[in-house]
Structure 1
């Protein structure tokens, strides 16, 4: 193989369409744009979602609810996940390193799902009332 013999894969490159180059090309005169109208003109086109003056779909439909921008900073962890982690002391950094919460998480809360049998001390992590009771019943603590 030599540098001057390298070619792209067969069918990966297509010559660009040259419009307005005479009758024989098949794209002469109106150059595939049809006759008259907004779409035939240079620079003339509608904005995204424009429906010819009809009330656009995104304005016809009712709006409900909202999505919190803080959601990416909040995370949940279950009792089962804590059990599997098997660490005596658990803080935000330990959860991030174990891959149980996302890198952006700032607030973590333990929710009561599953069972906890090991003693776990939580540092800077919240817990629901049920999860708190389960952790303390297993001999753990929440700081």
Structure 2
């Protein structure tokens, strides 16, 4: 076999449809776009437009509440941290924080911080600093002889 003899299997590639090349081509004149109007032109951007009538997404009432101050935390389980320690990606004797978890590949990107959940068990004595943690996760880490510190929220005085 020579390099110039290499080819795709029959039917693996399709030739591009040439639009607007005369009525004999089968897709001439309107080029498969139907007839006239906005959608026959290029640059159509009419998603949700209803010809001047009030669109459905504006007719329906808005419901609920969106908290613009809500924090978006990465959620990491104790089992995932233990798995990273056993794989040698995390140092159990060093402080485990968001940057250490990112460097170990446990989280892809640090959002507004890391929240630790209690799924799984930890065997090593760990020092963890996180933006949030469940009570059960704190208990499990302290039971193993480690510490899990979370910054305290300032209570609003009434």
TM-score by length of 2: 0.57
Does the CA contact (< 8 Å) of 1:76 and 1:108 recur in 2? yes
Within the candidate set 113, 123, 127, 1:117 is matched to 123
In the TM superposition, what is the alpha-carbon distance from 1:93 to its structure 2 partner? Answer: 2.5
Unaligned 5+ runs, structure 2: 5-9, 86-91, 150-158
Shift of 1:137: 1.4
What residue is the counterpart of 1:56 in the other structure? 55
Q: Shift of the alpha carbon at 1:96?
A: 1.1
Q: Which has the larger radius of gyration?
A: 1
C-alpha RMSD of the superposition = 3.8
How far is the alpha carbon of 1:107 from its aligned partner?
0.9
> Is the deviation greater in 39-48 or in 97-106?
39-48
> Matched residue pairs, number?
134
Q: Normalising to structure 1: TM-score of the pair?
A: 0.62
2:81 alignment counterpart: 82
Structure 1: runs of 5+ lacking an equivalent: 4-8
